[in-house]
Amino acid sequence: MNRKRFYSISLVLVLLLTMSSLPILAGTAHAKKVTIKAISAWPTNEVSVADDYLVFIKKANEQLQAKHPGEAEIVYIGGPEVIPTRNQPESLRQGVVHMYFGSDAYYAGIAPAANSSRLSQLYSWEEEERGADAIFNEIHQKKLNSYYLGRLASEFGFQLYLNKPVKTPEDIKGLRIRVSPIYLEFMNSIGAAPVDTSPGDIYQALERGVVDGFIWPFYTIRTWGWHEVSKYVVGPQFYKVCHPILINMDVWNQLSKPVQQTLHDVLRQEARLAAERDANKVAEEKELLQKAGMQFITFSDADTKRYLDMAYDSAWEGMMKKAPDYAPKLRKVLTK
């Protein structure tokens, strides 16, 4: 074999080997799966709150596997037993965890404007259509280095419970109401006497007459046993118990556009199903509380409007002070 022919054969072999390795290398790069470590602010047995999240994760993984096999997977690592609830937002920001399901009240000190989601009068998918999600995304990216995917299982409202009968909102004036920062401004505007106690102290405070009532999400007081020491469910529900799903921005940017869209689509679908479940739970809870001996006090139409106006006007006034850059436009898009 002469030298020229030897070099020609060698060159062909090198080219063949190089070409044959390209699909393997490309396939290896494409096959690098993004594992999304997910956490919840609540344990999985917490009044089914985390259950909706686990259903979302299951459905999302099924769709990811079907449409984008090998590209991404969500792995649920646990709740407060893994990282304490109050530390989770910072863990998300730093990328210690990648997906967070919790409450914007838990990071209101970092991103006060995000906490205005509780004042929404819309369903989560309506918020997206009206541009609220885009605003929340800007807030979360700036403050928490995270992408705001949307909220889930957030259609329950807050409810006032009393041990004294009232006929109008004005009758609440002077009553001692256990509060949290979420509705403190509202109770101040209505003239109640706010009392600050931990949730664990509410039962004893009611039993001993330290407080005349409390405010809590409608569907969970039986879990705490508070229906045993309170008598009246008063007026309409107000605000929303908001549970956003956030994804660390660095991880979000690693996902392909189709994968990102799939996560969006699954959340919108699950948000609608969760809203239907929430409506059924409200109806069931009302019946169970009535069977337990609690009475429901309904205001007149005019009083109901005045009560709700005080609730939302006072909260938005407070939000204008805390987040003047975002509050005006958020109020516009979150109000019917």
Identity of the residue numbered 192: A
For residue 180, report the phi and psi dihedrals to the nearest 5 degrees: -125, 170
Q: Which two tokens stand for residue 104?
A: 């914007």
Name residue 177's beta-bridge partners.
194, 213
Q: What is the pLDDT of residues 204-252, one digit of tens each?
A: 999 999 999 999 988 889 989 999 999 999 999 999 988 999 999 999 9
| Domain match, 95 and 168 both | no
Sign of the torsion angle spanned by Cα atoms 282, 284, 285, 287: positive
| Domain match, 210 and 311 both | yes
The span from the CA of 165 to the CA of 179, in Å, is: 19
| Domain match, 195 and 118 both | no
| Domain match, 75 and 148 both | yes
Residue 2 within any structural domain of the chain: no
| Domain match, 110 and 179 both | no
Residue 11 within any structural domain of the chain: no
CATH code, domain with 247: 3.40.190.170
Q: What is the pLDDT of residues 134-144, one digit of tens each?
A: 999 999 999 99
Output the pTM of the full model: 0.85
| Domain match, 33 and 131 both | yes
| Domain match, 271 and 301 both | no
What's the chain's length in residues? 336
Number of domains observed in the structure of the chain: 2
| Domain match, 249 and 107 both | yes
User: What rounded mean pLDDT belongs to the chain?
Assistant: 89
Residue 193 within any structural domain of the chain: yes
| Domain match, 130 and 175 both | no
Between residues 208 and 10, which one has the greater pLDDT? 208
Residue 213 within any structural domain of the chain: yes
- What is the mean predicted confidence (pLDDT) over 275-294? 91
The span from the CA of 320 to the CA of 32, in Å, is: 45
Residue 124's domain comprises 29-155+241-280
Residue 23 within any structural domain of the chain: no
Q: Nearest-CA neighbor of 208 among 172, 176, 239?
A: 176
